Amino acid sequence: MGWILVTSAAVILFLQNYPLYIRSVPTENELKFHYMVHTSLDVVDEKISAMGKALVDQRELYLGLLYPTEDYKVYGYVTNSKVKFVMVVDSSNTALRDNEIRSMFRKLHNSYTDVMCNPFYTPGDRIQSRAFDGMVTSMMIQVC
Amino acid sequence: MMSKTDAEIRFGNMAELHGTKVQIPYLITEKNTFKRMDDEDKQQETQSPTMSPLASPPSSPPHYQRVPLSHGYSKLRKSTEQMHPAPYEARQPLVQPEGPSLGGPGAKPLRHQASLIRSFSVERELQDNNSSYPDEPWRITEEQREYYVNQFRSLQPDPSSFISGSVAKNFFTKSKLSIPELSYIWELSDADCDGALSLPEFCAAFHLIVARKNGYPLPESLPPTLQPEYLQAAFPKPKWECALFDSYSESVPANQQPRDLNRMEKLSIKDMADVPVPTQDVTGDDKQALKSATDEALPKDMSEDSATPKDSNSLKARPRSRSYSSTSIEEAMKRGEDPPTPPPRPQKTHSRASSLDLNKVFQPSVPASKSGLLPPPPALPPRPCPSQSEQASEAELHPQLNRAPSQAAESSPAKKDIPYSQPPSKPIRRKFRPENQATESQEPTTAVGGPASVATVKPHPTVQKQSSKQKKAIQTAIRKNKEANAVLARLNSELQQQLKEVHQERIALENQLEQLRPVTVL
């Protein structure tokens, strides 16, 4: 149950509701992002429980827009191992389409899987993989 | 990869510039105070000849093979600098193969850089090679390749199959690098991110570990010579045959100088490992012969053929001892991954080692001493007391120890107890004395006459000396065995702890899984 937060701004990846990976582009509002992400975690949990089915496919991994605030949109994604990816993007970024968000989450998920493949990485650690960092940076640059 | 294409684009622009100008953006972005002026000079030397081939877009990996890697490397570095100027500059990779100690300020001259390299125990003759081919540490030499493949085989008999992640993790953990570094090395080398290492991936990872242990900072991305395609092309799947060397022969000339550098790495590893036996040879050697011997010894050790044209002449110096040293170094790095090798080394065929003429010692004394001297000494560790023996090995040896006195046919078993409680060297000698006394008293049909006859009988003193030398040799061998045992026991205990931790984690995960399951059912 990790989650990743990506804002125009930040990326936070959480496991069991504590962060595995946090990344924000403008760093000044980080606290606000953290707060938003924590509240969004509840929404994610709600959606997970609402799903309730045994089979979860790729589409259901993507949770879509969790809730829009006045400034930001929060998107969620959950993996089969209950790792949550949360992305917060600026509302001014109207250019971002749903499928773009999906593709970003897919990339995140793939990178996360690659991190998992590393035998020296124990699940639950903070993610320090440079490849992961690079991917997230490129994504955030693209978003901003 | 994005970085590479960026680099290529950037380089395409820079290719038009004069060689000196190429350095300027590098200098500007570089904040570490590497000797810039000298870098310029150095890189001018190396890059001006390579400017023309690199003017064309260097897109294919084979291109990297042909070109000295300095330039390709600077490209990678520049690209990463652009992306992450601050953190990565502190890890300027291998334009100059200095270690982390080189963060110091000041424009050090090229000679000083070379002296730093010397601090890694590079021979003086290699300085020029180092400066002109700064990136060659990432090129795997033939000997290294053989060694890596050997190690791969020890973990996974089928060279075309994979080493699983956990196996590789245990193996590389023995190198005593930190986990984040190992994690990073894995990230670099596992190109397909499948959680397993194929043979080229394994060689790349091993090579990175070797380089890191030698103090080279890890690169930002996998160097071209370490990429699996390159490794597979340059080194087809090994069958431990000359075919391997034949395929490599074409790239041998290009690798001669890099091989020097890698020999340097080997030697630096040697110094780090501080193997006593070979270092005796090392200190007495001319470094040139050393380097060449090293170069030759490894292939000799790993396989029968040696296709190294450069040093075939000066090879014969001391290949065997050198080979032992290099294998021992790798073993020292890996802490007992090759358990069988360290113990026999001092005892077995040291045909050319001058330090321990065990063969000479053993062979003549075998027929000479029939008093059972030979069989007991290997089994006669200097165990203080049965109560003090902590390790199982000691316990095993102890019964042999008890057998030894009986074989020695001494008349004073009490004297045996005393030597047992004393340091290694003494019991042997004391055993020797009761031995002599026993022989004196009983006069067995042995060449080892009584001590009384030592002065008179000439062959006997020499035999005794030989056997005492032999005993000392055996003592040292036993000591080394004990050390190896201690290391292995420690490693075992560490691994056991790790295993316990992993078990606990697994249990915790399973519990979590169980807790999570009800959530979805809702």
The residues spanned by each domain of chain B are: 143-234
Q: Which residues of A116-127 are buried (b: 16+ CB within 10 A; e: fewer)?
A: bbbbbbeeeeeb
**Which chain B residue lies closest to A113 (C-alpha atoms)?**
B193
Q: Which pair of tokens denotes residue B113?
A: 């850089």
Report chain B residues whose CB lies below 8 A from the CB of A112.
none
Whole-Å CA distances, A60 to A63, A69, A102:
7, 23, 11
CB contact under 8 A, B509 and A54: no
User: CB contact, 8 Å: A53 with chain B?
Assistant: yes
- Give Cβ neighbours of residue A6 (< 8 Å, ≥ 6 apart): A12, A23, A85, A86, A87, A88, A89, A104, A108, A136, A139, A140, A143
**Which chain A residue lies closest to B187 (C-alpha atoms)?**
A118
Split into its structural domains, chain A has a count of: 1
Is the complex ipTM higher than 0.95?
A: no
CB contact under 8 A, A130 and B184: yes
CA angle B403, B409, B413 (to 5 degrees): 70
> Do the domain assignments include residue A60?
yes
Q: Which pair of tokens denotes residue B359?
A: 């063969």
Cβ atoms < 10 Å from Cβ of B420: 24
Q: Using CA atoms, how far apart are residues B519 and B514, in angstroms rounded to an integer?
A: 10
> Do the domain assignments include residue A17?
yes
**Which chain B residue lies closest to A111 (C-alpha atoms)?**
B193
User: CB contact, 8 Å: A118 with chain B?
Assistant: yes
Query: Amino acid letter at A28?
Result: E
> Do the domain assignments include residue A15?
yes
> Do the domain assignments include residue A95?
yes
Alpha-carbon torsion (B254, B244, B273, B495), positive or negative: positive
| Contact residues of B toward A, CB < 8 A | 2, 83, 165-166, 168-169, 179-180, 182-184, 186-187, 190, 193-195, 220, 505, 509, 512, 516, 519-522
Task: Give the CATH architecture of domain B143-234.
Answer: Orthogonal Bundle (1.10)
Report how far Cα A140 is from the mean position of its chain's Cα atoms: 12
**Which chain B residue lies closest to A56 (C-alpha atoms)?**
B520
* CATH classification at residue A58: 3.30.450.70
Q: Which domain holds residue A25?
A: 9-142
Kindly report whether the global pTM for this prediction surpasses the value 0.80.
Answer: no
Q: How far apart are the first and last CA of chain A?
A: 27
User: CB contact, 8 Å: A141 with chain B?
Assistant: no
> Do the domain assignments include residue A2?
no
Whole-Å CA distances, B90 to B34, B217, B218, B273, B373:
11, 10, 11, 28, 61
Please report the DSSP string for B301-312 in residue order. HH-S----STTS
> Do the domain assignments include residue A1?
no
Which neighbouring-strand residues pair with B90?
none
Q: Tens-of-pLDDT digits for all 522 residues of chain B?
A: 444 444 444 444 444 434 444 444 444 444 444 444 444 444 444 444 444 443 444 444 444 444 444 444 444 444 444 444 444 443 444 444 444 344 344 444 444 544 444 443 334 443 334 333 445 667 778 888 888 888 888 888 877 788 888 888 888 888 888 888 888 888 888 877 787 888 888 888 888 888 888 888 878 777 777 777 777 776 555 444 444 444 444 444 444 444 444 444 444 444 444 444 444 444 444 444 444 444 444 444 444 444 444 444 444 444 444 444 444 444 444 444 444 444 444 444 444 544 544 445 555 444 444 444 444 444 444 444 444 444 444 444 444 444 444 444 444 444 444 444 444 444 444 444 444 444 444 444 444 444 445 445 556 667 778 888 999 999 999 999 999 999 999 999 999 999 999 999 999 999 998 888 876 665
Q: Which pair of tokens denotes residue A89?
A: 């993007």
- Bridge-based pairing of strands A10-15 and A3-6 is antiparallel
User: CB contact, 8 Å: A59 with chain B?
Assistant: no
The whole-angstrom distance between B24's CA and the closest CA on chain A is 26
Report chain B residues whose CB lies below 8 A from the CB of A121.
183
